Structure 1
Amino acid sequence: MKEKRAYRLKDRAKSQEETRQKIVEATMHLHETLGPRATTISAIAEKAGVQRLTVYRHFPDETAVFQACTSHWLSLNPPPDPAAWEGIHDPFQRLQAALDAFFGYYAGTKAMWTASHRDVADVPALQGPMAEFAGFLGMVADGLAAAFDKQPNASLVTTLHHALAFPTWDDLDARGTGDAAKVALVILWVRGVLGQA
């Protein structure tokens, strides 16, 4: 009898986890297609094929479901890892490797970043994750700047922060600039800042 009850409990837990996952994936899909601002709990429930109450049973509020969505999306689309270029000694080659990685990443995840940047001011639940990603980009930019000079000048740091930001990539992309040309342009900016143009 105990075994049967344990089996039912395990089955129920599995079903709940599957429902939770459906809700997270529905939220992720809606964020990418409609944008976070237009993603309501009702829309999430409809997309997941559940009742609104079921969404609230798994997530107490919009912030909780957005956080779960962000974590899941980032697990499927992890940003580039600085370890991939930290061993490159030449600062320009290191910069190129980082830019190649980030620009390729943005090209593959453009829809989500576009929606997130567009809606971040209006969606408090999105502001924390976006600030965390901006902090990560800042850390990457600071590391790249330090490869040129242990005490890099403010203009170099600002240029690298700007170059790594999705809106910069997106603006250049909208102008028809390919990723290789984007990288070459950023390297020209850096050479100019360093007085090497």
Structure 2
Amino acid sequence: MVVEKATRTYRMSRRADAMEDTRRRITEAIVELHGSIGPARTTIAGIAETAGVQRHTVYRYFPTEEDQLAACAAHFWGLHPRPDLEGWQAVGEPAERITNALKQLYAFYSEVEPMLVNSLRDAVEMPAVERALGSMAAFLEDATSLLSAGWSPARGRKRFVVAAVRHALAFDTWRSLVREAGLSTNDAAKLMATMVAAAKTTP
């Protein structure tokens, strides 16, 4: 009786491990495809082929598009965490704070570029993708508020500082400076920090 119980427990454990392995392989397949061809071009057949499973297995674990996107986002951002806002806040001087923040953010963008390019492109036609990007948008809004503080701008210049910070934080700004203009991450960060500093006084 004890042996039978131990055998059942062992089999259940192995089955749970096999299910978790299958879920992981499907999730990694979704991440790979979203990063290479984008969510809009990713199909159940493509996921199944990449993961080495049957189509019905994909549906069993991730029955909806939202389920697939949620799994992809959780896995991908777990591997590529966004910069730490609390670490930025610990830097008291605003010019130093935004320079350090932009260096970290731009390095982060270089890691996640393919996924963001595809996701932002496909979000236009896929509301589910736009919703999945909501946490990134919220992060950038929080970062804008944090990095806009402490500048003591001239009267009426606060909105210019906020606009400059928001522009500096944008993914498209990084791509323009680094990918198109050929600046290094550090040089791009310094340039944008200088722009933000100028925004507090420049008419």
Same fold (TM over 0.5): yes
Counterpart secondary structure, 1:27: helix
Give CA deviations for 1:120-156 in whole Å, capped at 9, x if unaligned. 1122221112122111111011111113249971221
Identical amino acids, percent of aligned pairs = 36
TM-score if structure 1 supplies the norm length?
0.93
Mean Cα deviation higher: 107-116 or 97-106: 107-116
Asked if the contact 1:100–1:179 (Cα under 8 Å) also holds between the matched residues in 2, the reply is yes
Q: What are structure 1's unaligned runs of at least 5 residues?
A: none
Counterpart of 2:129 in structure 1 is 126
Equivalenced residues, count: 197
Aligned partners of 1:74 and 1:147: how far apart in 2? 30
Counterpart of 1:195 in structure 2 is 201
Instruction: Describe how 1:23-172 pairs up with structure 2 within 5 A.
Output: 23-149=26-152, 153-172=158-177
Counterpart of 1:3 in structure 2 is 6
Aligned partners of 1:130 and 1:152: how far apart in 2? 31
Aligned partners of 1:98 and 1:27: how far apart in 2? 30
Counterpart residue type for residue 183 of structure 1: A
Aligned partners of 2:167 and 2:202: how far apart in 1? 19
Aligned partners of 2:14 and 2:127: how far apart in 1? 36
Question: Following TM superposition, where does structure 1 have runs of at least 4 consecutive aligned residues deviating by more than 6 angstroms?
Answer: none
RMSD value over aligned CA atoms? 1.8
Counterpart secondary structure, 1:85: helix
Asked if the contact 2:69–2:132 (Cα under 8 Å) also holds between the matched residues in 1, the reply is no
Aligned partners of 2:32 and 2:107: how far apart in 1? 21
Is residue 183 from structure 1 mapped to residue 189 from structure 2 by the alignment? yes
TM-score if structure 2 supplies the norm length?
0.91
1:175 is displaced (CA, Å) by 2.0
Counterpart residue type for residue 176 of structure 2: D
Larger Rg: 2
Asked if the contact 1:31–1:115 (Cα under 8 Å) also holds between the matched residues in 2, the reply is yes
Counterpart residue type for residue 185 of structure 2: D
Aligned partners of 1:113 and 1:135: how far apart in 2? 15
Aligned partners of 2:122 and 2:7: how far apart in 1? 49
Aligned partners of 1:149 and 1:86: how far apart in 2? 16
1:192 is displaced (CA, Å) by 2.4
